[in-house]
Structure formats: structure tokens, C-alpha cells
């Protein structure tokens, strides 16, 4: 039986999972691949550190040339996070003739064009199933299984940390800070969780999916994004009263040939599949013009689910499937973007609005007046009892009919300047009828 030798760079959470599968499940992998995949060397920054996995001492070093200079090793799994030294190591591995597998979404979102062009020039491939949605094989499904389709819509819960925090706030009654601390205690959130909770991580993943599904050449920082860092437990409760659940939703959707991209806390009607995604799970709903609606649900992070995706890429690369896909798709090429982004202000959505107003007569009329002048029509209003803990403010919750993003933004800015308004208003999109 043929043998493909593998190098791993990075022995953190994911790297340890990959090393474990390669060493402990070698026979199973060989059965799936029709060849042996053999781990030959692992490069780490500190070889003396005690690890959760026991590897032969000479298999682990801090020396990247133990992989780059070893002509027996044909595939390298780059499993370190961040941009540098990941980028430099990726270029060195490609230059030394290795095909690359990586789980580093930030690296691809930032330096995808450079890395993919270099790989193409060198006749090498890059596989990155693990970069988006962890254990859900969404990259292969979009780039291979749905090749007959024009994808028209893609909606995802792509950040498990945010989803876990929201679930804890909703089901466990925690504050945002308590839920974040719990996520960190369980290892779902990084020591610095900024990129998770401000929507950046989801935007990086969305940029990758939009590239695959729509040929969009967009930098993730150009995607309008709102995180969950200002999410108020009161809105989770009011949304539930209305029959909705709030999720951090990443959207890529065609509107008359132009692409809408956004990441934001969004109300989803209970019973819709995305509304039922709990804890650290991820999910992606894809609509294709031939296949109709497909829904994928699974663990979006964690050692073994992510390792499952990395090892699938290693197998695909060892047998040659990954190279075929890589060269057929011309990903991250300099080719012109196939779609332009929509003007987000022109798009219409339904909105959830919450105002904290003074308990005076005429307040509702004043708010409705502003909304009406901006062509925002109200579908329902719930005026709650004055909130004793908040200085007698009256929470006023509204659901709108379809209104443009631009008009609602302008109206909210205008409303927030009214003397009757006691704190910044809340505005979130609504999915589902």
C-alpha cells in the first residue's frame, strides 16, 4: 500500500486532534484513502512543553526545515492561528513543494490571494475545510457537491462562541459578561474574545464562503458587521415573547445580481432551523437554484470536529481530489469579482426596534411620527410596564413591515436625539415571516 507522509505545524487544540487521529486511527484512514497517511514530523514553537499527546521525541522540533527539507513529506497541515508567522510559514511550505492544509481562516481572509496565487504558480494546492464551520463540511459541499447550482442565498451561524453566549443568556439567564466568562472557562472563547464577539470572526468566514459560492472578491473588513457585545438580555426576552430567537447570523444573498453581505444579531422565527441552533453548534442554510434549500448543522469548533475536517483535507490531498478542486476553481485568483456588493442602505428588511422612552403622554405618537416620515410602517407594538430598575423608563418594542436599512438608520438617529428618549435605541433585522 502506498504511503503519504505528513508534517504538522502547530500542536495546539486542533493540531493535537489531527496528530491523534493520524496516529491512533491509521488503519481506518488507510481504508478510506486507499493508502497510508503517516505523520512524520511536527513543528512547534516550544518542543519542551508537556503535551496532551505523546509523540516520539525526534518527531517533534521547532525547526520548520525538518518539514520543508524533507522530500518524503508531501503534505503539511498548518495549524497555527494568527497572521504571522503563519503567512511566512505557509509560503515556505509551498515553496518547498508541499501541498497545504490549513484551518486558519484569518490567514485566508487576509492573505488568500497571495497564498493561492503562489500555490498555483508552484503547482501546489491549499485545502481549508476546517477554516469555516468546524466539523460541518461546508467548503466541500459548496465547492464540489453544489457545482450544478447558482447559489442564491446563504445564511449561517458561523461563530460558536457567540452562539454559546447567546444560548447561556437566553436559557441560563446569565448576563453577557457571565456568559462570556463561562465560554472562556469551557474553552469556547479565546483569552481575547474580541474577534468572536464583535462579528469579525463570522465576517472572515463569510468572506471565504462568499468567495466560493458567489465568486465575490471581498475583504472581510468591507462586510457590514455588528457583534453581540452590546446584546441586552431584555431583547432576548422581548424577542421570545414575539415568537423569535436572536442569533448572530451571517448572510450572503443575491438581489438582482448584486450581493448582500452582512453579519448581525438577527431575530429568527422559532421553529425555523437556524432558530434551533443551540450552544456552540454552527449551521448553514444554502439555497441553490437546482437543489432548493439545504441545511447543515454540526459542531463549529472544538478539537475533534475541527480535526475531522483537517484530516478529510489530508485524505483529499493524499489521493489527489484536493488538487483537482483547487485547480478547477481558481480560488482567490486575480480574476475580476463575478458580483458587486449591494448598497446595504437600499436593501429592505423587517426590523425589531426597541426604544427606552420617558413615561409621558404622546411619546408613542412622537416616535410613530418620525418613523412614518421615513416610510417605516409598523406591524406591531408592545408597550411594556415602566421598568422600575431603569428609572421608570418605558420599554417600547416594535416590529416593522419591510423598510430600507438606510431609512431605519436615519430614523433611529433622529429618534435618539429626541428628549423623550432615555438611551440608545436597539435595531435588529428579522428573518422569517
Q: What positions carry a catalytic annotation?
A: 205
Smaller CB separation from its own copies, 77 or 89? 77
Minimal distance, residue 365 CB to its own copies, in Å: 42
Residue 329 burial by Cβ neighbours in a 10 Å radius (0-12, 13-18, 19+):
middle
Residue with cell 457583534: 227
Q: Of the two residues 228 and 284, which places its CB atom closer to its own copies in the complex?
A: 284
Residue whose entry in the numeric block shows the C-alpha cell 505523546: 54
What 3-state DSSP class applies to 342?
A: coil
User: Least distance to its own copies from the beta carbon of 423, Å?
Assistant: 36
Q: Phi/psi of residue 314, each to 5°?
A: -60, -45
The span from the CA of 62 to the CA of 49, in Å, is 11
Q: How far is the CB of 196 from its own copies (least distance, A)?
A: 20
Q: Where do contacts with its own copies occur on this chain (CB under 8 A)?
A: 17, 21, 25, 28-29, 31-35, 129, 135-137, 140-141, 143-150, 215, 271, 273, 276, 288-299, 302, 304-305, 307-312, 315-316, 319-321, 324-325, 327-330
Rounded to whole angstroms, how far apart are CA atoms 108 and 400? 38
Question: Judged by CB, which is closer to its own copies: 288, or 395?
Answer: 288
Contact present, 112 and 211 (Cβ < 8 Å): yes
Q: Following CA atoms 415, 420, 423, 424 in sequence, which dihedral angle do they give, to the nearest 10 degrees?
A: 0
Complex with its own copies: residue 26 or 341, whichever CB lies closer = 26
Give least dist CB 140 to its own copies, A: 5
- Residue 241 or 330 with smaller CB distance to its own copies: 330
Distance CA 234, CA 231 (A): 9
CA-closest candidate to residue 168, choices 155, 157, 187, 181:
181
Closest approach of its own copies to the CB of residue 303, in Å:
9
100 vs 59: CA distance, rounded Å: 19
Amino acid at each position: 500500500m502506498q504511503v503519504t507522509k505528513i508534517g504538522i505545524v502547530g500542536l495546539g487544540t486542533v493540531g493535537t486532534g489531527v496528530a491523534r487521529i493520524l496516529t491512533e486511527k491509521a488503519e481506518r484512514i488507510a481504508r478510506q484513502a486507499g493508502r497510508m497517511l503517516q505523520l512524520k514530523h511536527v513543528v512547534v514553537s516550544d518542543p519542551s512543553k508537556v503535551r496532551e499527546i505523546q509523540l516520539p521525541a525526534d518527531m517533534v522540533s521547532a525547526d520548520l526545515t525538518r518539514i520543508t527539507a524533507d522530500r518524503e513529506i508531501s503534505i503539511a497541515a498548518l495549524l497555527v492561528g494568527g497572521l504571522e508567522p503563519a503567512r511566512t510559514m505557509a509560503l515556505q511550505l509551498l515553496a518547498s513543494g508541499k501541498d497545504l492544509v490549513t484551518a486558519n481562516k484569518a490567514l485566508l481572509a487576509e492573505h488568500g490571494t497571495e497564498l493561492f496565487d503562489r500555490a498555483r504558480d508552484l503547482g501546489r494546492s491549499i485545502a481549508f475545510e476546517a477554516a469555516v464551520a468546524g466539523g460541518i463540511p461546508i467548503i466541500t459541499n459548496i465547492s464540489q457537491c453544489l457545482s450544478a447550482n447558482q447559489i442564491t442565498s446563504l445564511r449561517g451561524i458561523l461563530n460558536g462562541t457567540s452562539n454559546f453566549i447567546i444560548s447561556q443568556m437566553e436559557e441560563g439567564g446569565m448576563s453577557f459578561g457571565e456568559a462570556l466568562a463561562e465560554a472562556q472557562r469551557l474553552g469556547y472563547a479565546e483569552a481575547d474574545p474580541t474577534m468572536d464577539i464583535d462579528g469579525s470572526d463570522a465576517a472572515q468566514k463569510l468572506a471565504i464562503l462568499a468567495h466560493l459560492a458567489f465568486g465575490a472578491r471581498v475583504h472581510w473588513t468591507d462586510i457590514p458587521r455588528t457583534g453581540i457585545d452590546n446584546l441586552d438580555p431584555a431583547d432576548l426576552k422581548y424577542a421570545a415573547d414575539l415568537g423569535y430567537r436572536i442569533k448572530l447570523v451571517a448572510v450572503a444573498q443575491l438581489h438582482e445580481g448584486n450581493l448582500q453581505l452582512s453579519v448581525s444579531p438577527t431575530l429568527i422565527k422559532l421553529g425555523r432551523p437556524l432558530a434551533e441552533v443551540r450552544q456552540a453548534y454552527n449551521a448553514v442554510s444554502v439555497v441553490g437554484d437546482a437543489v432548493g434549500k439545504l441545511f447543515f448543522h454540526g459542531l463549529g469548533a472544538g478539537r475533534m470536529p475541527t480535526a475531522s475536517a483537517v484530516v478529510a483535507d489530508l485524505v483529499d490531498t493524499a489521493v489527489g481530489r484536493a488538487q483537482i478542486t483547487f485547480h478547477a476553481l481558481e480560488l482567490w485568483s486575480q480574476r475580476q469579482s463575478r458580483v458587486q456588493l449591494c448598497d446595504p442602505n437600499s436593501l429592505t428588511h423587517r426590523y425589531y426596534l426597541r426604544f427606552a422612552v420617558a413615561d409621558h403622554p404622546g411619546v408613542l405618537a412622537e416616535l410613530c411620527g418620525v418613523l412614518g416620515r421615513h416610510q417605516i410602517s409598523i406591524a406591531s407594538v408592545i408597550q411594556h410596564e415602566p421598568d422600575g430598575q431603569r428609572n421608570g423608563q418605558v420599554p417600547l418594542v416594535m416590529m416593522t413591515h419591510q423598510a430600507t436599512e438606510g431609512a431605519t438608520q436615519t430614523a433611529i438617529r433622529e429618534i435618539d436625539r429626541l428628549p423623550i428618549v432615555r438611551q440608545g435605541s436597539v435595531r435588529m433585522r428579522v428573518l422569517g415571516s
